[in-house]
Amino acid sequence: MHAALITDQETIEFFELESSPPEKDQVVVDITLCGICGTDIHAFQSPGPAWPSTCGHEWTGVLSAIGSDVTRVSEGDRVIIGVPPSCGSCPACHAGQMDKCQTVLTATVGRGPYQTPHGGFADQLTIHQGRVVLANSELSDEQAAQIEPAAICFHAVRANAPRLGDIAIVQGAGPIGLSTLQWVLAAGAGTTIVVEPNETRRNLALSLGAHHSIDPSIAADFVADHTRGLGGDIVYECAGVPATVQSAIDLARRGGRVSLIGLAMGDAPINPRRWLNKEIKVSAALGYTHEEFEMTMGFVSDGRIDLDALHSGTIDLTDIAETFVDLAGGQSQHTKVLVRP
């Protein structure tokens, strides 16, 4: 079995690993497709190795073996990576905060009992049964491989939805930003403004329903003119770049809201005085619930959320290093690349 891992800055290595039978609570997934996430690219650009479990964390596949205690899925089932159910025994669960289960959080970031020696950039993966969700039968494999990031965006917008008629700004038109844009439109935003340096992605945002799609260099003036100097009612930060955390605050109106979705690698420079002067409400979102995952599959399967428009190419696993270099360069024409192991 071959697996690709990010072992250092701008370095991807292939490893030959032995396949082994699943333990009693594990399943073996033959990976069909695995998406390249923005956090994968950020890890590729950062010093040191990436966490092995998260090297490919947006996948779909078919179960080829199950452990003796596994009853909720069967061999031959098509599944998608998800988060496990709330554990019921951690401090958050005991406090009645099942949606903030600490066990689910550790699984989301590939830690704890759910961690694996590699991720979905491989032809096969053995993983705890709690990490797999039965795929909606109406989804294509390409759609199924994009459900996990789409569910993250749904969770974020559901938790921090625009009010009807709001001016909503989306920073970043990568897969996360373009998915967030669609959820924001579905939630009833009055006007949507996408801020993105890549022209291809700006045009894609317009085709998906954005009212305006602009370059960051003109964002401040454009938003000021369009809102008569007020700023956006809510800004969704999807770029995942440290500097864009402050720019999200700058684009919001006084008393406005900012939702952090993109994961910035490293500390972000901020201006606390501006945060205070604006009386900004800042929230963050990570992960999703089982209910939100199922709802996301439904929205995609019935066409209300278009993930096919985000899928710009599929590559073989052997081409992954070259593709990472292209995506990390910032000028790629790709949006969402899927890897076929």
Task: Give 2-34 pLDDT, tens digit per residue.
Answer: 999 999 999 999 999 888 899 999 999 999 999
Task: Assess contact for 82 and 92: CB atoms under 8 A.
Answer: no
User: Considering the domain boundaries, does residue 182 fall inside one?
Assistant: yes
Do 141 and 164 belong to one domain? no
Do 318 and 267 belong to one domain? no
Instruction: Look at residue 263 in the predicted model and tell me its pLDDT.
Output: 86
Do 184 and 264 belong to one domain? yes
Return the CA Rg of the chain.
20
Tokens of 263: 């994961």
Over residues 242-252, the mean pLDDT reads 96
State the Cα–Cα distance between residues 44 and 210, nearest whole angstrom.
30
Angle at 239 between CA 243 and CA 50, to 5 degrees: 90
Instruction: Look at residue 132 in the predicted model and tell me its pLDDT.
Output: 96
Do 142 and 6 belong to one domain? yes
Mean of pLDDT over the chain:
95
Instruction: Look at residue 178 in the predicted model and tell me its pLDDT.
Output: 98
Is the pLDDT assigned to residue 290 strictly greater than 90?
A: no
Do 241 and 157 belong to one domain? yes
Is the pLDDT assigned to residue 266 strictly greater than 90?
A: no
User: Considering the domain boundaries, does residue 300 fall inside one?
Assistant: no
Task: Assess contact for 231 and 252: CB atoms under 8 A.
Answer: yes
Over residues 107-129, the mean pLDDT reads 92
Instruction: Give the type of residue at 155.
Output: H
CATH of the domain at 314: 3.90.180.10
Phi-psi sector, 272: left (phi>0), alpha (psi -120 to 50), beta = alpha
Supply φ then ψ for residue 45, to 5 degrees: -85, -5
State the Cα–Cα distance between residues 76 and 93, nearest whole angstrom.
33
Do 120 and 194 belong to one domain? no
In this structure, what DSSP letter does residue 328 have?
A: H
State the Cα–Cα distance between residues 91 and 317, nearest whole angstrom.
41
Instruction: Look at residue 110 in the predicted model and tell me its pLDDT.
Output: 87
pTM of the model: 0.94
Do 164 and 251 belong to one domain? yes
Instruction: Look at residue 99 in the predicted model and tell me its pLDDT.
Output: 87
State the Cα–Cα distance between residues 251 and 219, nearest whole angstrom.
8
Do 132 and 182 belong to one domain? no
Instruction: Look at residue 31 in the predicted model and tell me its pLDDT.
Output: 98
Task: Give 170-200 pLDDT, tens digit per residue.
Answer: 999 999 999 999 999 999 999 999 999 999 9
User: Considering the domain boundaries, does residue 297 fall inside one?
Assistant: no
Task: Assess contact for 171 and 177: CB atoms under 8 A.
Answer: yes
Over residues 237-242, the mean pLDDT reads 94
Over residues 280-287, the mean pLDDT reads 93
Do 212 and 199 belong to one domain? yes
Number of domains the chain contains:
2
Do 136 and 167 belong to one domain? no
Is the pLDDT assigned to residue 330 strictly greater than 90?
A: no
State the Cα–Cα distance between residues 236 and 246, nearest whole angstrom.
12
State the Cα–Cα distance between residues 332 and 1, nearest whole angstrom.
30
In this structure, what DSSP letter does residue 99 have?
A: G
User: Considering the domain boundaries, does residue 89 fall inside one?
Assistant: yes
Q: Domain residues for 333?
A: 2-146+307-340
Is the pLDDT assigned to residue 117 strictly greater than 90?
A: yes
State the Cα–Cα distance between residues 1 and 5, nearest whole angstrom.
13
Instruction: Look at residue 168 in the predicted model and tell me its pLDDT.
Output: 98
> How many other C-beta atoms lie within 10 A of the C-beta of residue 76?
9
Task: Give 65-113 pLDDT, tens digit per residue.
Answer: 999 999 999 999 999 999 888 999 999 999 999 889 998 999 888 888 8
CATH of the domain at 209: 3.40.50.720
Task: Assess contact for 131 and 85: CB atoms under 8 A.
Answer: no
Do 138 and 27 belong to one domain? yes
In what helix (H) or strand (E) does residue 159 lie, and over which residues does it extend? helix 147-159
Do 15 and 141 belong to one domain? yes
State the Cα–Cα distance between residues 37 and 150, nearest whole angstrom.
11
